[in-house]
Amino acid sequence: MSTASVRRAARQSVSGLPRAFWWLWTSTLINRMGAFVATFLALYLTVVRGYSASYAGLVAALHGLGQVVSSLGAGVMTDRLGRRPTMLIAQVSTAVTVALLGFVQHPAAIAAVAFLVGMAGNASRPAVQAMMADIVAPEDRVRAFALNYWAINLGFAFSSLAAGVIAQYSYLIGFLGEAALTLACAVLVFLKLPETRPAPTPGADGAAGEPAVGLGTVLRDRRFMSVVGLSFLMALIFMQHSVALPVAMGKAGFSSTDYGMVIAVNGVLIVALQIPVTRFIEHRDPQRLLVISALLAGYGFGLTAFAGSLGVYALTICVWTLAEIVNSPTQMGLVVRLSPAQGRGRYQGVYTLSWSLAALVAPLVGGSVIDEFGAAMLWAGCAGVGTVAAAGYWLLMRGLPAERPSGGAGAPEAARSEAEAASA
């Protein structure tokens, strides 16, 4: 491929998106570049503080529980207070609690602060996703979510490398560095991003408009809750890479260095392929894409049962990474498609809950299955769950009306114009 072709493809991938989206994208990148706690918390507790692995696991679980708790609350805040205030509160709170975590020493205090870090760190997700849906036209949303997912992984790749170097000298510097970068995100949001929450529409007195949306509305939305359930199944599969895969590789005689080498394939592929793959799938049938991604995820992990070398492990990771690349933006586009504009925060909060719960459940399920039945049974189970998810997506998407272009399910043009003007 010529240089001109690469440049043309790059321009097509990023063209047509509003300026406010790129400020939001930049805040995501900066945020993920400072992801120190999530990467090195267990090592910090066991190596530096000298606590047991069981205590480190408890703290990690409390951190995840904080994410679960904040998912719903942050969704409500996003709709009631607005996207921008919710992001500012979440980011400032994250900076304060992360910095505090670097100083507290008592076991109970560490556990409590870790819970608060999980709450604060996850609270901005519904607001970011709702704002992205507000400012990006429906026909561009899959591409926008893919670019945002790419920024998440690019930032995380950088943070993993930087945090590894920093941890050799001082874990405290890592905590304070994450706090500083999170505050930088808050400053960027404050200076560059306007509020994009759609104006309330009258409806209670019989005038035309959208009805009020509460958490009960979301929970009674059977099609949307089906998406949440399928998202939970997909997250259960993908989350096996963080605990079950290294444990299984260790039992098979591979070292932590071996695991680090093969799991790096996941990040490299996402950074390299997310944009070109998204250009290929952007306007294709979402039903087919979701079904294929579920099968790739399930059977990609299922193939791990036959892995006996690093090369085969890497090959299985390539398969389920492709599923991740396809599923993430496509599913996010479906979530926005099913969410009323006035309730996007609550809908995004419930959707976020599916991943937070999976982060709690997946390590427990994976470890238990490996201990009781062996790793091969776990990988076979992943294939089965992927098959169930694929069937669920196929049934869910039948009869779903096509999404209208700009001005349909998306935010009003006035809101996007306001965002453009305020961020210019």
Give residue-wise pLDDT tens across range 263-301.
888 888 988 888 888 888 878 889 999 999 999 999 999
**Least-confidence region, from 13-17, 112-116, 273-277, 377-381:** 13-17
Task: Check the CA dihedral 107-47-355-376 and report its sign.
Answer: negative
For the domain made up of 20-199+215-423, give the CATH fold: Growth Hormone; Chain: A; (1.20.1250)
Report which of residues 303 and 279 the model is more confident about. 303
Whole-structure pTM value: 0.78
Determine how many CB atoms are found less than 10 A away from the CB of residue 205. 6
Rounded Cα gap, residues 97 and 115, in angstroms: 10
At residue 304, the pLDDT reads: 95
Rounded Cα gap, residues 267 and 275, in angstroms: 13
Residues 6+ apart with CB under 8 A from 187: none
Rounded Cα gap, residues 263 and 62, in angstroms: 25
Task: Tell the burial category of 5 from Cβ atoms under 10 Å away from its Cβ (0-12, 13-18, 19+).
Answer: exposed
CB 227 within 8 A of CB 396: yes
Task: Check the CA dihedral 348-349-354-360 and report its sign.
Answer: positive
Give residue-wise pLDDT tens across range 320-338.
999 999 999 999 889 989 9
Selection from 70, 83, 188 nearest residue 131 by Cα: 83
Residue 25, token pair as written in the block: 């994208």
